[in-house]
Amino acid sequence: MSRSPKTAFIGMPRFLKRVYPDAMRREIDAIAPILGRDIDGELWANELSTLADVEVLMGTWGVPRLDAAFLDAAPHLKAIFYGAGTIKHFVTDAMYERGIVISSAAEANAVPVAEFTQAVILLSLKRYWQFTDKIRERRQWVREGECPGAYRSVVGLVSFGSIAKRTAALLARHDLRLIAYDPYLSQAHAQEFGVRLVTLEELFRESDVVSLHAPLLPETTGLVGEKLLATMKQGATLVNTSRGAIINECALAKVLSERRDLTAVLDVMTEEPAASDNPLLGMPNVRISPHIAGSMGGEVERLGSWMLDELRRYCAGEALLHQVHAIDLARIA
């Protein structure tokens, strides 16, 4: 049975225009009539007339916390399609208790993160950072030292969720040896991706590149500390595209100051933006990017496109592919 729910957009205005461009909005309006103007997540109380009638919200970064006050203002709300990544900062028990369903484009956002991670891993195995540093510092062509290259090198994936799976699939063509640590993953499932399960300690000892993909949970906060870091292979690289607080940054700075053979490539930090006195910002064996691995530029339109597809399923009465249930929140990023 098909339905034609009244729909509105909510989030930061500058992102709504990019995630849901005009052509996409026309497609949405054809199956789910759009009410009123876009709702600025910070100023939602100014749009009470729209919220009073809306059944579906198409969101992106900037969705407000869905607490009782918001939900009371949207008594007919039945579904939220979130064109961005994590939903943890705005979903509530009250939302789930009212039977409101939510789908997220986190899987779509995993695509560029995995692509970024693959690129960083391959560059690291070529010692790209070290070679280019020497050329810049000496202002001459030099090629000193060895690099492992990709063939038969070991890449360790810490946690094996959506992004790690996509990263493993992208790396499969490069004749690497892939290992992973994930307490919730079976060996049989790991083998489907050509990955060997190991302990966390084994992963840090054996890997030429360690790539972090763990969600930030109480048990993963500070997971990577001095003891693990000190055991890394000579010349190894640590890559983090997950959450900054997975790493004990004080321990990382200490180990990297003592082991100049190690390199850290960090797209995320515990505090963002990082404080200017954070020692990692000035270390020669650290590369920091400002949280750019996820969807940027034209990539953000993919997020809206996936949520448009999800809206189509909702309107057709079909099962949703990217729904996030309350029970999922304890284990996802």
* Candidate list 89, 144, 146, 272, residue with the active-site label: 272
Residue 332 is predicted with a pLDDT of 74
- Per-residue pLDDT tens digits for 122-161: 999 999 999 999 999 999 998 888 889 999 999 999 999 9
Query: Which pLDDT belongs to residue 24?
Result: 98
The answer to whether 95 touches 66, Cβ cutoff 8 Å, is yes
CATH of 109-288, one of 3.55.50.30, 3.30.365.10, 3.40.50.720, 3.40.50.150: 3.40.50.720
Give the model's pLDDT for residue 1: 53
Q: Is 291 a catalytic residue?
A: yes
Give the Cα separation of 6 and 76 in Å (integer).
10
Separation CA 91–CA 237 (nearest Å): 36
Q: Which CATH class is domain 7-104+297-330?
A: alpha beta
Distance CA 196, CA 211 (A): 15
Q: How would DSSP label each residue in 234-297? A: TT-EEEE-S-GGGB-HHHHHHHHHH-TT-EEEES--SSSSPPTT-GGGG-TTEEE--S-SS--G
- Concatenated DSSP letters of 3-33: ----EEEEE-HHHHHHHS-HHHHHHHHHHSP
Helix 300-316 and helix 22-31, axial crossing angle in degrees, nearest 10: 10
The amino acid sitting at 94 is A
The pLDDT score that the predictor gives to residue 251 is 98
Residue 42: the pLDDT is: 96
Q: Of residues 291, 302, 312, 313, which has the active-site annotation?
A: 291
Q: Place 92 in a pLDDT band, splitting at 50, 70 and 90.
A: very high
Tell me what the pLDDT averaged over the chain comes to.
96
Asked if 161 and 333 count as a contact pair (C-beta separation under 8 A), the reply is yes
Task: Tell me the sheet residues that pair with 10.
Answer: 39, 59
The active-site residue out of 25, 243, 287, 322 is 243
Instruction: Judge whether 243 counts as a catalytic residue.
Output: yes
Question: Burial code of 159-180, b = ≥16 C-beta within 10 A, e = fewer?
Answer: bbbbbbbbbbebbeebebbbbb
Whether residue 326 contacts residue 87, with contact meaning beta carbons closer than 8 Å, is answered with no
Q: What is the signed CA dihedral for 18, 240, 116, 22, rounded to 10 degrees?
A: -10
With 80 as the cut, is the pLDDT of residue 168 above it? yes
Q: Could you give the CA distance from residue 14 to residue 16 in angstroms, rounded to a whole number?
A: 6
φ, ψ of residue 168 in degrees (nearest 5): -60, -40
pLDDT of the residue at 144: 83
Sequence ranges of the chain with CATH classification 3.40.50.720: 7-104+297-330, 109-288
| pLDDT for the residue 161 | 93
The verdict on pTM exceeding 0.85 is yes
